[in-house]
Structure 1
Amino acid sequence: MLRHLQAHDDAFQPPLSSRVNLEDYSRKLFDNAVRFEAWVGNDLVGLVAIYCNSKDEDGAFVSNVSVLAGHAGKGIARRLMQFAIAHVVGLGFSSMHLEVDRRAVRAMHLYLALGFRPTAQSEDGSISMRLRI
């Protein structure tokens, strides 16, 4: 998972490594998140990681959505997110939420198409989005 995050680092707006220690983040996702993964051979090419800690108003939190550049545009993120949404529904959650940088136009389009709606925008340019289930 660490190799995947490192390979995809610059695709995040701003780069993920500018916000978190990738090794620590990778370990945290492995230990605590529910992960939906797409593999090609031995390569992790797509990853969605969610935290399903609280069924209350906060709902499940989507911590990571990433697809390696050579595999982008093939519907991998959409399919992984659909699996994640189905999983959260199966657990009885009423919502999911995430944060996305306003410059991540493709990601915003995906989340809107899946039914997520903006709920807030911070001064740093990140947009909070929520999906009511």
Structure 2
Amino acid sequence: MNSDEHLQLSINGSTVMQVLVHLHACDRCFIPPLNNRVDLLEYAEKIALRATRFEAWTGGELSALLACYTNDLARTNAFITSVSVIPAAQGQGLADALLTAAINYVRDQRFETIELEVASENVAARNLYIKAGFFMVSEHNGTETMRLALQEKFENGNL
């Protein structure tokens, strides 16, 4: 990414094909690689149709993507399913910016918590989430479930 290219942040601006191209570009950045776990086309379709997408664009390219499911009608738990940054844009704070935007959005929607799963060996991602206030709630087969509490409940159950 060149410094003269304009960075633009958006929500839900990407198409299925743009998400797919982005996931292909980031595939090997996932631990383990994403295509070892999911069919990339099916996953891109699911993200584009069902997730709230926080996006960073550079020169018309989807540089970073955070996908979060916010379809829990009880507003109990939102779930971050994917955070990815193309290799050329890594180290520039894009994941941090998108994570902050997602947390603020989910908090404004009055969800109680956000959860995500991360490979225990993915130190950079774990550190990003810990810095944002997430904590580990469980670990199974090398995958940690992390949670961030967003709303304080009063004793009578009202927010």
Q: TM-score, normalised by structure 2?
A: 0.80
Give the match for residue 100 of structure 2.
82
Instruction: Give the corresponding residue for 1:127.
Output: 144
Q: Percent of counterpart pairs with the same letter?
A: 39
Runs of at least 5 residues in structure 1 that lack an aligned partner in the other structure: none
Equivalences, count: 132
Cα pair 2:72 2:78 within 8 Å, conserved: yes
User: Does residue 24 of structure 1 match 2:42?
Assistant: yes
Q: Shift in Å at residue 41 of structure 1?
A: 1.1
Structure 1's consecutive aligned runs of 4 or more residues displaced over 3 angstroms after TM superposition are: 55-58
Which structure 2 residue ranges, 5 or more long, are not aligned? Answer: 1-18, 151-159
> CA–CA distance in 1 between the matches of 2:113 and 2:76?
7
For residue 82 of structure 2, what is the amino acid of its counterpart? N
Question: What is the CA distance between 1:49 and its match in structure 2?
Answer: 0.4
| RMSD (Å), alpha carbons | 1.2
Q: 2:131 aligns with which of 105, 113, 128?
A: 113
Aligned partners of 1:13, 1:118: CA distance in 2, in Å? 18
CA distance in 2, matches of 1:130, 1:85: 11
Query: How far 1:126 sits from its partner (Å)?
Result: 0.5
Query: Which of 59, 65, 90 is equivalent to 2:83?
Result: 65
